[in-house]
Amino acid sequence: MLPAVTWLRAEKSGDVIVDIHVIPNAARTQAEGEHDGALRVRLHAPPVDGKANLTLMAWLATSLSVAKNQVSLVRGQTSKRKQLRVNALAAKAAAWDRLLP
């Protein structure tokens, strides 16, 4: 079951959309509360050649204990505000509480 937070949205298909505000070039990758209705995540990756996006998707998959191929970038390839999709099968088994501050 999904926690009642503004940055998680379940779709009719069962997929879950995660709204994220990214801060690149941090000392380490970690969630850091909320920012303007999105989960704020500090990334230990530069915003160059998609490295930050790959790092973000891998971090989310690891945090939720799901396979990396179950997480995809939906929106925000070049912006700080991103939307990631966790596929329905993975979303049911995901450890959503690990994202909560």
Q: Is residue 100 domain-resident?
A: no
Within-domain flag for 32 = yes
Give the pLDDT score at 62.
97
Rounded CA separation 19/28 (Å)? 20
Asked whether residue 95 is domain-assigned, the answer is no
Reading the block at residue 66, the tokens are 């799901």
Q: Tens-digit pLDDT profile for the chain (101 aa)?
A: 788 999 999 999 999 999 999 999 999 999 999 999 999 999 999 988 889 999 999 999 999 999 999 999 999 999 999 999 999 999 999 999 999 87
Asked, for residue 53, whether it belongs to a domain, the answer is yes
Q: What is the CATH number of the domain that holds 32?
A: 3.30.1200.10
In a domain, 63, yes or no: yes
Query: Would residue 1 count as lying in a domain?
Result: no
| Beta-strand relationship, 81-86 and 30-35 | unpaired
What per-residue confidence (pLDDT) applies to 92?
Answer: 94
Residue range of the domain that includes 81: 8-88
**Number of domains comprising the chain:** 1
**In one letter, which amino acid is 8?**
L
Give, in degrees to the nearest 5, the angle at Cα 7 between 37 and 96.
Answer: 145
